Amino acid sequence: MNHLNPSSHIQERIDLAAAFRWAVRLNLHEAVANHFSMAVSDDGQQFLINPNQRHFSLIKASDLLLLDANDPNTMKQPNAPDPTAWGLHGSIHRLCPHAKCVLHVHATYSTVLASLANSVLPPIDQNAAMFFNRHVVDGHYGGLAFEEEGLRCASLLQDPKIKIMVMGNHGVLAVGSTIADTFNNLYYFERAAKNYILALQTGQKLRVLSDEIAEKTASQLDSYPEYGIKHFADLKEILDNTEADYKK
């Protein structure tokens, strides 16, 4: 697999570059760390990912690496990705073909949630209800996300219903079938985590939705017409007017 082929998969490259730029604008990023990837083959095995230690604010569509999740020589080749990117994203794309898009960050409030003894997000508002029974907690952090960590994480993402993994003591990971919907889920999970952490800081009793209402709300939002698509299209329009170089 040619790691640098900037003329291939143009639309996926543009959309993923937009996700990187907006992660910076929303302060979800961690400088040159963290990774976003998008599968470009029907089986999910070939995917785009950011180059090793490149700041999210500088990433362009042509910068993205094209990798094969089944290529054992990936890390031996020129322009190899960050080893933790390969360990985490390579494992997920290899073992979870439904997870076409994988976005991993150490966003502030999601990471605070990941630092709590109980890292489950309760349905205390509409945004949190969006993820009721649709997020999973990995409570077995074992160090940097090399291949062993990646395999464990992939094992927790087998259910296509799961949108978010709270990575205990680490951060958050969003998965989905498109970049638009996955970024939408990442955005709203961080917003929901922020509301929850701020609510905890009041010291008052939380108003938690019943399981029935939380599931009803989540189901309604699952099928809300073009929610993520419209959101992401507007984000790209803003970039077109202010940071159009992301498309190069």
Q: In this predicted model, what pLDDT tens digit does every residue of 52-63 receive, in sequence order?
A: 999 999 999 999
Pairing of strands 171-176, 101-105: antiparallel
The residues of the chain scoring below 70 in pLDDT are 1-7, 145
**The pLDDT value given to residue 148:** 80
**The pLDDT value given to residue 147:** 74
Give burial (CB, 10 Å; 0-12/13-18/19+) of 139: middle
Quick one: the chain helix, strand, coil %, rounded to 5?
A: 45, 15, 40
50: which 2 tokens?
């950011």
CB atoms inside a 10 Å sphere around CB 101: 27
Domains by residue range for the chain, with CATH: 10-247 (3.40.225.10)
Measured in whole angstroms, the distance separating CA 103 from the mean position of its chain's CA atoms is 2
Spatial separation of the C-alpha atoms in residues 189 and 44, rounded to whole Å: 24
3-state secondary structure of 172: strand
**The pLDDT value given to residue 3:** 57
**The pLDDT value given to residue 4:** 55
Q: What is the pTM of this model?
A: 0.95
